[in-house]
Structure 1
């Protein structure tokens, strides 16, 4: 029987990509999907397979300034009121949230309306908004075994599904790793999450300039840059003779990952999941100063599997990055082993698992009757 699902996610790739994957799977199963998100949805919303997109007011808690806190509280309350209207109109069978403060109003509105809900946590550390919601949802789906203060807090309703990846990632996962040839072109991909990373724009040109001329000549670089950085980065690469393709956003990122010999990127949950499903070696540079070090924990998981080399941003100067790239380019066998290890750690079935859970919760079934192979903390009964 067709069901209606309201998915809710913040308007950045890290939140919207797994939501997009789930939406596509639910639609394949004959269900109706609608999306509630914030005003940042932009280019990502254009490809989201939802019947309608509802922009809901939201804000992020930041600092302790009373005026700022009051403004945030007002926006979250306004968003909850808007979300209650959407839920009243749609009468969804379940609401599925993907984290971040934009998820809070629709998920809290679902709780107030008595609508079953599933909260998905993409990172190894549960975010603050999800921690606020965890006690009010029907089920919690995780990408990794949780660490930190939320670990083990809700064992009866926590299910490890993995992090859903988009159909394009699943398609790209069928591309075998192309072992770099001695003296041949070396495909290097650099990106910094959905918003880009100024650190890579600052670090890559001087790092690649440090390479020996014959090594530098092999590199074919694809790099995501913020719009305001592209001109200066392009000029720097032209000056040192690097063949580079630069853009603020690559809509075919899955194919770009599959075509790469080495990836240098942040370690957000979506990036780590896509690297592992496709199976590509990576140098991971976790976003520094994160309150819960979520990206650091994500990077550690892929590193322990043998698929990545994490380096703290504070320790990655141009000379260190140049040495690391040179070392890896000179050892194709090591890169191939890392690609294989990353792929073995991937969860290409995550979207099926999460869709199964969402359908089960929407049907009103108790969590203990779900397939216990999904659970991250033993039998959920």
Structure 2
């Protein structure tokens, strides 16, 4: 593959970077102040809402969504470097309508939804009029094995009735969240454990949907986005809300999570780059023991290692994106699993070193590093923990060397 960005991608990178320089970085303090002083932290943040029309006017809206006339016509490989630039500031992606979980949910509805689903839910999401949540993980089972999911989706005439409890349903705390994509079992007795599950669209205001609490993340409420614990108690929705058909939940999940992992990883690389930038500036400015941190041997070596690890991770993600574009998500599952392990671990190391370089200031909210670390550390669990991906990787690698089974 050719790792050089095309002229089209370079032009978009320059435009996104210019937007970040003009509108996002100068408003980081504004965002922090508005969140700190908000009477209700779950309401949309004014500065984010003010910047969205500017992003639309600049033609930097809905840049994701490959293979769709709704998107910008970019492949995973083309979108990846743009996601990295947006990811440097955790709230910036929303300004471009390119934030999780909406990106994954929009891809899901576009790829697997009906014309009615697209009209009712996808188009308002693309316009930024509403937001969404993805409800898969459950508190009562080991959800790292998604076949354990117990939420029940039962057909009843022209409806489905949903009962179950979910948590880590990202985005559900936003008052603009109007639609959930819920994964549950429609056929729990199916001998094929990967055909028991289905996905269904559930409007937020459906009777029986109850948000029990918003979950703290390392002590933060993670407002205004947030992650909810939700109870579905005899929630009734039309049978037409099922996505793709009964028993297709795992198929949809794999289609959804592949591009999502590229986005998460590139945003994490953006965070790591920003942490490295902050570290270099801090090292030049601070003078302990008679000379700048930048002249201390341990700091020089650590900065070099940060540069090495970030660049290795970026190339690995770009390779995975290229393979997804050329041979499909299923054939690229090894590469997708690998980046899901490698990149959050890299980001955790780099951001941890950045915190160390900032001393006591690094653990405050003054430099944004503590929040960066919480984000990166969470991603070692989100979308499947490291151990699951390593297990999958190890099995696929061993399979290359095991003798073929003789025909029975």
| Fold shared by both chains (TM-score > 0.5) | no
Return the TM-score normalized by structure 2.
0.25
User: Relative CO higher for 1 or 2, CA cutoff 8 Å, sep ≥ 6?
Assistant: 1
Higher helix share: 2
Return the TM-score normalized by structure 1.
0.26
